[in-house]
């Protein structure tokens, strides 16, 4: 089954290094937009400009005063307004910066599961993420071992180029369609919509959350995990998150084994118990629910799950990496040395294998396929 997932709202941000409201280039742009019937325009001198610009920034680094600001924010109300906005911008000598529209991941989950609770789309777990760049950057989920990335499941796209021309898979050309599925947003045009391929999920899935402590215990478990998690049944995606914690002024290592099983808890506990008995997964560390509820489960701020404005904002920096061979026990222990010192930082290890091994590294721009054991995310706050 395939659907065109249409942004409900798209912010276009027109950027310049000299953001002056009285700028003559600005007058040309504004009159072109107004002539095109575009009304939702906010210039840099407007009182609500900063709140509109920053409302969906998830990383507070980008809201600091030294970060340069655009001249105008345009929210096109339709596909034709989006085309017109691009044309006016380019014709008047400005640069376009796109920000993802209203089609957040949670809106995709809701739309898909309201049509059938047994359908889903393989996207990330954080509900406020916009679909525009998430899909065009790859999009990793807790189902990637079964179904691959969001971009692997993207069947078509409507792309608006710098001349305002709208193109689909056939008219944009094979190379551009390859690039928009994982090659990054903003470089190839503005994506108005993606057609997404849906996948089957059971009525009941199981989430799990097993926290383990202690340097030797964590080192041994994580070392073993590297050999097992990429080889597990592809219905199981088991992430491990490594960090440190202060307990009564003593620094302790911790590892959180967290993830999703596309099936019921008895099956999960039996499968994990067989291949990874050292973890000692207990039934009370597993929770049955529907697939859409699992998305909410992984996000602590449930009240705001449908709200694009997510209040739990912080300053952070994340770098990604990919492992082709397991890390030695001394390497893991060295990593834990650092994480115990910096207890607000952590490292996620996200297993590949399964479907990820079956997709050619040249199929889309995301190349980390067969031979890539797991992805690493280093996060500092």
Ligand X SMILES: Cc1cc2nc3c(=O)[nH]c(=O)nc-3n(C[C@H](O)[C@H](O)[C@H](O)COP(=O)(O)OP(=O)(O)OC[C@H]3O[C@@H](n4cnc5c(N)ncnc54)[C@H](O)[C@@H]3O)c2cc1C
- Listed in sequence order, the residues at least 6 apart from 57 whose beta carbon sits closer than 8 Å to its beta carbon are 63, 313
Tell me if 63 contacts ligand X by CB under 6 A: no
- In this structure, the number of other CB atoms found within 10 A of the CB of residue 135 comes to 31
Alpha carbon dihedral 78, 82, 88, 93, in 10-degree steps, equals: 160
In the bound complex, what is the minimum distance in angstroms from residue 112's beta carbon to ligand X? 17
Q: Which of these ranges, 83-91, 123-131, 210-218, 362-370, lies near ligand X under the rule CB under 6 A?
A: 123-131
321 closest CA partner among 357, 374, 371, 360 = 374
137 makes contact with ligand X (CB under 6 A): yes
CB nearer ligand X, residue 98 or residue 238: 98
Interface positions, 217-256, toward ligand X (CB under 6 A): none
What is the pattern of x (binds ligand X, CB under 6 A) and - over residues 190-219? xx----------------------------
Give the nearer residue to ligand X in terms of CB position, either 26 or 137.
137
Tell me whether strands 2-5 and 190-197 are parallel, antiparallel or unpaired: antiparallel
Contact, 43 vs 30, CB < 8 A? Answer: yes
Closest distance to ligand X from the beta carbon of 104 (Å): 8
Cβ atoms within 10 Å, residue 270: 10
Q: Site for ligand X (CB under 6 A): how many residues?
A: 22
The DSSP H or E segment spanning 348 is: strand 346-351
Give one word for 184, left, alpha or beta, with left for phi > 0 and alpha for psi -120 to 50.
left
Task: Provide the mask over 304-343, with x wherever binding to ligand X is found by CB under 6 A and - wherever it is not.
Answer: ----------------------------------------
Stretch that binds ligand X, among 15-23, 109-117, 130-138, 339-347 (CB under 6 A): 130-138
Is 183 a binding residue for ligand X by CB under 6 A? The answer is: no
Q: Which is nearer to ligand X, 162 or 283 (CB)?
A: 162
Using alpha carbons, select from 231, 239, 235 the residue that is nearest to residue 265.
235
Q: Choose the binding region for ligand X from 94-102, 261-269, 282-290, 359-367 (rule: CB under 6 A).
A: 94-102
Is residue 265 close enough to count as binding ligand X by CB under 6 A?
A: no
82 binding ligand X? (CB under 6 A): no
Q: What's phi and psi for 52, nearest 5 deg?
A: -70, -40
350: which residues sit within 8 A by CB, 6+ positions away?
Answer: 140, 237, 239, 374, 375, 376, 377
Number of neighbours of residue 72 by Cβ within 10 angstroms:
25
Residue 287 in tokens: 């929770």
Closest contact distance (angstroms) between CB of 155 and ligand X is 16
Q: In this complex, which beta carbon is closest to ligand X, that of residue 58 or of residue 63?
A: 58
Nearer to ligand X, 134 or 369 (CB): 134
User: Does 129 interact with ligand X (rule: CB under 6 A)?
Assistant: yes
Query: For tokens 């509109």, what's the residue?
Result: 52
- Tokens linked to 119: 């359908």
Q: Give least dist CB 30 to ligand X, A.
A: 22
Contact stretch for ligand X (CB under 6 A) within 127-135, 213-221, 231-239, 340-348:
127-135
- Residue 61's contacts (CB-CB under 8 Å, 6 or more residues apart) are 67, 315, 316, 317
Residue 308 contacts residue 56 (beta carbons within 8 Å): yes
Compute the half-sphere exposure of residue 184: CA atoms within 13 Å on the CB side of its CA: 2
83 binds ligand X (CB under 6 A): no
158 binds ligand X, rule: CB under 6 A: no
Q: Looking at 25, 69, 79, 97, which residue binds ligand X (CB under 6 A)? A: 97
Q: List interacting residues with ligand X (CB under 6 A).
A: 58, 97-100, 124-126, 129-130, 132-134, 136-140, 185-186, 190-191
């Amino acid at each position: 089954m395939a659907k065109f997932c249409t942004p409900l709202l798209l912010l276009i941000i027109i950027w310049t290094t000299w953001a002056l409201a009285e700028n003559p280039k600005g007058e040309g742009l504004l009159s072109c937009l107004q002539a095109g019937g575009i009304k939702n325009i906010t210039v840099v001198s407007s009182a609500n400009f900063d709140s509109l610009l920053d409302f969906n920034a998830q990383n507070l680094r980008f809201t600091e005063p030294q970060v340069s600001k655009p001249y105008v924010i345009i929210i096109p109300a339709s596909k034709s307004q989006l085309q017109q906005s691009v044309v006016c911008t380019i014709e008047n000598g400005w640069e376009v910066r796109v920000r993802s529209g209203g089609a957040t991941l949670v809106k995709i989950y809701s739309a898909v599961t309201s049509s059938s609770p047994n359908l889903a789309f393989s996207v990330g777990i954080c509900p406020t993420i916009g679909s525009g760049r998430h899909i065009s950057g790859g999009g990793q989920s807790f189902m990637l071992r079964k179904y691959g990335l969001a971009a692997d499941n993207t069947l078509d796209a409507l792309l608006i180029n710098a001349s305002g021309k709208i193109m689909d898979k056939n008219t944009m050309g094979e190379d551009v369609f390859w690039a928009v599925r994982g090659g990054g947003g903003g470089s190839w045009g503005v994506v108005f919509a993606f057609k997404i391929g849906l996948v089957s999920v059971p009525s009941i899935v199981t989430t799990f959350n097993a926290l383990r402590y202690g340097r030797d215990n964590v080192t041994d478990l994580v070392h073993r995990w590297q050999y097992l998690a990429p080889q597990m049944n592809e219905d199981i995606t088991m992430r491990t998150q490594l960090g440190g914690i202060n307990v009564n002024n003593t620094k302790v290592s911790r590892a959180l084994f967290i993830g999703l099983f596309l099936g019921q808890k008895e099956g999960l506990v039996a499968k994990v118990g067989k291949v990874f008995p050292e973890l000692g997964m207990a039934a009370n560390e597993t929770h049955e629910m529907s697939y859409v509820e699992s998305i909410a489960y992984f996000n602590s701020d449930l009240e705001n799950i449908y709200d694009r404005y997510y209040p739990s904002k912080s300053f952070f920096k994340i770098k990604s990496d990919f492992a082709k061979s397991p890390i030695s026990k001394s390497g893991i222990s060295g990593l834990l040395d650092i994480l115990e010192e910096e207890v607000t930082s952590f490292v996620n290890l996200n297993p590949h294998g399964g479907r990820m091994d079956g997709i050619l590294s040249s199929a889309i721009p995301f190349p980390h396929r067969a031979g890539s054991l797991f992805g690493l995310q280093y996060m500092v706050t």
